[in-house]
Amino acid sequence: MTGVLIQKELRRHWPAFLLLGFLTWSAIFIAAFRLNADGTGAGAFTGVGWGLFWLIPVTGIILGRALISSEYQAKTQIFLEGLPLPKWRMITLKLVLGFLLTCIYTMGSIAIGWLISMGAEIVTPKFLGIMTASACGWSLFVTGFFLVTGFLGRYRLIIYLTLALSIRMIRNSSIPIREFPPFALIDSSRFGLEKEVWPVFDLQVTGLIILGWIVAAYTLGLAKEGNISSMLGEKMSYREKMFIGGAFGIGFMTLFPFILNEPKPEPFDIPGAVEEEWEGVVVKISPEELEKPVDLEVAIAGKLARRLAKQRDWLGISKEDFPGIFIVEKSDIDEEERIDWEEIPEENVVLMYAGYRQPEFSENRLLSWTLSQVVRKYSKSRVSHEDRWWVVCGLEGLWEMEQTDADTIKAREQMAAKTVKQHGLTIDNLMGWSKYQDDVEWRNADAVAWMGMRKLEQTAGSEAVRTFARMAVAHQVTRTDGRAVAWDYLHPVTSAFEKATGESLENFVTEWRDYILSVDIEKEDVE
Amino acid sequence: MPPRGNTILKVSNLKRSYGNFVAVDGLNLQVNEGEIYGFLGVNGAGKTTTIRMLMGIITPEAGTIELMGETTKRTSLKQKQKIGYVSQEQVFYPWMTAQMLGKFVGGLYPDWDKQEFERLLQVLEVPPNRKSSHLSGGMRVKLALALALAPRPSLLILDEPTAGMDPVARREFLDIIEHQAREYGRTTFFSTHLLNEVERAADKVGIIHRGKTRFEGDLTLLQSRVRKIQATEGTVLPAGFEVWQILDPDPITGQREMVVDAPPEMWADSSIAGEKLSLDDIFISCVGVATMRI
How confident is the model over A464-513, as pLDDT tens digits? 999 999 998 888 877 666 677 777 778 889 999 999 999 999 999 999 99
| CB proximity A223 to B under 8 Å | no
Positive or negative, the CA dihedral B144, B147, B150, B156 is negative
Helix (H, G, I), strand (E, B) or coil at A189: coil
What are the structural domain ranges in chain A?
2-259, 270-375, 379-527
Residues of B in contact with A4 (CB under 8 A): 103-104, 107-108
Q: Which of A371, A144, A119 is nearest to A363 (CA)?
A: A371
How confident is the model over A1-44, as pLDDT tens digits? 677 788 888 888 888 899 989 999 998 888 887 776 655 555 77
Closest A-chain CA to B58: A225
How confident is the model over A217-227, as pLDDT tens digits? 888 887 655 44
Please tell me the least confidently modeled range out of A180-194, A236-250, A496-510. A236-250
Q: How far is the C-alpha of A76 from the C-alpha of B67, rounded, in Å?
A: 26
Please say if the pLDDT value at position A213 is more than 70.
yes
How confident is the model over A303-347, as pLDDT tens digits? 999 999 999 999 999 999 999 999 999 888 877 778 888 888 878
Please say if the pLDDT value at position B161 is more than 60.
yes
β-strand partners of A353? A328, A340
What are the two backbone dihedrals, phi and then psi, of residue B229, each rounded to the nearest 5 degrees? Answer: -125, 155
Q: How far is the C-alpha of A450 from the C-alpha of A512, rounded, in Å?
A: 10
Minimal Cα–Cα distance from A17 to chain B, Å? Answer: 16
Residues of B in contact with A76 (CB under 8 A): 91-93
Minimal Cα–Cα distance from A228 to chain B, Å? Answer: 11
- Of A229-233, B148-152, B226-230, highest mean pLDDT: B148-152
Percent of chain B clearing pLDDT 90 (strictly above): 29
Bridge pairing between strands B204-209 and B212-217: antiparallel
Quickly list DSSP for A270-288.
-TT-EEEEETTEEEEEE-S
User: How many cross-chain Cβ pairs, A to B, lie less than 8 Å apart?
Assistant: 56
Minimal Cα–Cα distance from B222 to chain A, Å? Answer: 32
Q: ipTM of this model?
A: 0.80
Cα–Cα distances (Å) from A275 to A280, A326, A366, A371, in that order, read: 12, 9, 17, 18
| CB proximity B58 to A under 8 Å | yes
Contact A225 B57 (CB under 8 A): yes
Residues of A in contact with B59 (CB under 8 A): 225
Q: How far is the C-alpha of B105 from the C-alpha of A1, rounded, in Å?
A: 9
Q: Which of A372, A384, A385, A288 is nearest to A325 (CA)?
A: A372
| CB proximity A490 to B under 8 Å | no
| CB proximity B94 to A under 8 Å | yes
Bridge pairing between strands B155-159 and B83-86: parallel
CB B153 within 8 A of CB B82: yes
- The DSSP element (H or E) to which A291 belongs, if any, is none
| CB proximity B49 to A under 8 Å | no
Q: Which of A7, A84, A86 sits opposite B109 (nearest CB)?
A: A84
Residues of B in contact with A84 (CB under 8 A): 77-78, 80-81, 108-109
Residue type, A145: F
Q: Which of A75, A83, A226 sits opposite B91 (nearest CB)?
A: A75
Closest A-chain CA to B80: A84
B117 pLDDT band, cuts 50/70/90, is very high
Amino acid B21: pLDDT = 86
Q: Which of A426, A433, A343, A423 is nearest to A388 (CA)?
A: A433
DSSP code at position B231: E
Please say if the pLDDT value at position A422 is more than 80.
yes
Cα–Cα distances (Å) from A368 to A158, A338, A449, in that order, read: 55, 13, 14
Best mutation target among B99, B105, B143, B160 (most A Cβ atoms within 10 Å) is B105
Amino acid A155: pLDDT = 75
Q: Which of A4, A12, A226 sits opposite B95 (nearest CB)?
A: A12
Amino acid A262: pLDDT = 58
pLDDT, averaged across chain A: 85
Residue type, B215: F
A526 pLDDT band, cuts 50/70/90, is very low
Contact B105 A83 (CB under 8 A): yes
Residues of B in contact with A227 (CB under 8 A): 52, 58
Q: Which of A376, A329, A323 is nearest to A350 (CA)?
A: A323
| CB proximity A70 to B under 8 Å | no
Contact A74 B109 (CB under 8 A): no
| CB proximity B89 to A under 8 Å | yes
Best mutation target among B16, B57, B83, B85 (most A Cβ atoms within 10 Å) is B57
Q: Which residue has the higher pLDDT, A391 or A475?
A: A391
| CB proximity A2 to B under 8 Å | no
Q: Which of B78, B87, B94 sits opposite A82 (nearest CB)?
A: B87
Q: Which of A399, A397, A425 is nearest to A411 (CA)?
A: A397
CB atoms within 10 A of CB B52: 24
Best mutation target among B48, B104, B140, B156 (most A Cβ atoms within 10 Å) is B104
Overall fold of domain A270-375: Zincin-like (3.30.2010)
pTM (global) more than 0.90? no
How confident is the model over A135-175, as pLDDT tens digits? 999 999 999 999 998 888 777 778 888 888 887 777 777 77
How confident is the model over B51-68, as pLDDT tens digits? 999 998 888 999 999 998
CB B153 within 8 A of CB B79: no
Contact A74 B94 (CB under 8 A): yes
Closest B-chain CA to A225: B58
CB A508 within 8 A of CB A501: yes
| CB proximity A234 to B under 8 Å | no
Contact B108 A79 (CB under 8 A): no
